[in-house]
Amino acid sequence: MKTEIIYTGAAYLTVMLVTRKCPTCGSLDCIRPADEVLRQAFTIYAPCPQCRGDKPLDKFTPLVELGLDIDTNYGRCPFCGKRHLDYVMAHVLDILIKEGQKDASAALKDVGTPLIVFGATMTEAPHLHSKSVVMVVDRVNKAVARRILKEVPEIKGVLKRKGNPSDSVGILDIGSNPHVYELMAGCDMRADVISCMLGDVCLYRGQADCHIEFWRNNSVKIKAIEKLFLDGLLDDGVIVDGFASVGTLGLLAAMGGAKKVVLNDAWLPAIKNLLLNIELNSDALGVEVERIVDPSTLPRVGDEPVLVAKASGNVELDVYFGDFRKLDKAVRSCDVCIIDTFPGVDPGPFASRWNGIARKKVITL
C-alpha cells in the first residue's frame, strides 16, 4: 500500500493506492492502479513551457554527422528534467555504435522501436522522465543492454527483436511455435491507455511475450466495438471475444453495456496479462474477480478450454484458456462473437463455425 497526495483546488486529499509486484521484475513501481495511470496518462509526457520548443532531430542523417556531444544530460530540460524522445534515441544509438552493434553511418531511424511505458494518444512528441521507454532493438547483447539501462535513465528495459518487425509476438495458432522477443536487461512491462466513447481502460502487457499494438482513439478495431454499441448489439448481450489477448476489445464491450463477456485466448502470457488487467480495471468495470485456476499450473499454449477466472458485478466476465475452435463446448450460444486473429491468419473458418452460434452477429477484425 502507498499513498498519493492530490490537490483538488480547495484541499489536499490523501489517496490510498494498492500496489502490486510486477510479474517481470518484482518491483512495486511498474504496476500502477488504472485510475492513477488514467489521471496522468495524457499529461505525463508533455513538455513543460521551457522545453516545449525543443526541435526534433533529423531521423535520416547519420548520427555522426549531426555533431552532437551526447551524454546523460544532453538535451535535458533544466526545469522539468525531461528529454525529448529524439535525444533519448540519439543517446541509445550512440552507445550501440560505440559498442559495434550498429554501423557508424546509422541514423535515428535505425535505432529500433521505442515503446512508451504508458502508451496514450499524444498530440506532440513525448518528453521523457526516468524509466519511460521499453526499447526494442534488432541487435544487442546483454552487456550492451545493461550499459544502455545504466547510462540512459529514460530506458526501462531493452528487448532484442526476433524476426522481422512485422512478425507478431505470441502464437499465430495453437500448432505454431511461439514467436517472442528476448528481454536483455531491465523490465518489459508497459501499458496501453485506451480512451473512447465506451470508457477508459489501462491495459498492461509484458512486451516480450505479447504483440505490440499502437492503439489510437481512431483505431479501426475500437471503432468496430463502438459501432456494436451504437447499433445496440452490446445491450444486455452475451459477447464472445475469441482471441482476447490482454483484453482490449472484450473489456470495452463489457463497459459498453454487455451482460456477459467471454474472453478466450490460447497463449498463457496473454491470459496472465488479461487477468491482471481485469483486476486493475475492476472499479471501472464494476466487478469483483474470482480466480479459479492458478495460471502457473497451465501449459504455455492451451488446447481444451479451461475456465481460469470469473468476475461478477455490473457485468459477468468468464476467462477461458484454450483453443477457440473448441470453445463452443463450453459456450453454447452468444449474441455477438468478436474474432480478431493475428495478421496472416484467415478468420474465415472461425467465423463460419460461430455463425451458427452467435445469434446476432459475428465480426472479424
Local structure of residue 46 (DSSP, 8 states): P
**Span 322-347, pLDDT tens digits:** 999 999 999 999 999 999 998 888 99
Residues 95 and 222 in one domain: no
Residues 236 and 346 in one domain: yes
**Span 79-119, pLDDT tens digits:** 999 999 999 999 999 999 999 999 999 999 999 999 999 99
Total-model pTM: 0.91
Number of structural domains the chain divides into: 2
Range of the domain at 319: 218-364
For residues 164 and 75, the model is more confident at: 75
Residues 27 and 167 in one domain: yes
CB-based contact 119:191 (threshold 8 Å): yes
Decide if pLDDT at 161 tops 70: yes
Residue 334: other Cβ atoms inside 10 A: 25
CA distance 288 to 266: 24
For residue 136, give the H/E element and its range: strand 133-137
On whether residue 112 sits in a domain, the answer given is yes
Residues 358 and 232 in one domain: yes
β-pairing verdict for 182-186 and 155-160: antiparallel
* Identity at 145, one-letter amino acid code: A
CB-based contact 209:230 (threshold 8 Å): no
CA distance 319 to 350: 19
Residues 27 and 74 in one domain: yes
Angle at 138 between CA 137 and CA 144, to 5 degrees: 60
Label residue 74 by pLDDT band (50, 70, 90).
very high
Residues 149 and 259 in one domain: no
CB-based contact 308:291 (threshold 8 Å): yes
Most distant CA pair in the chain, distance: 65
Q: What are the CB-based long-range contacts (under 8 Å, 24+) for 299-303?
A: 299/268, 300/178, 300/267, 300/268, 300/269, 301/171, 301/174, 301/178, 301/266, 301/267, 301/268, 302/174, 302/265, 302/266, 302/267, 302/268, 302/271, 303/174, 303/266
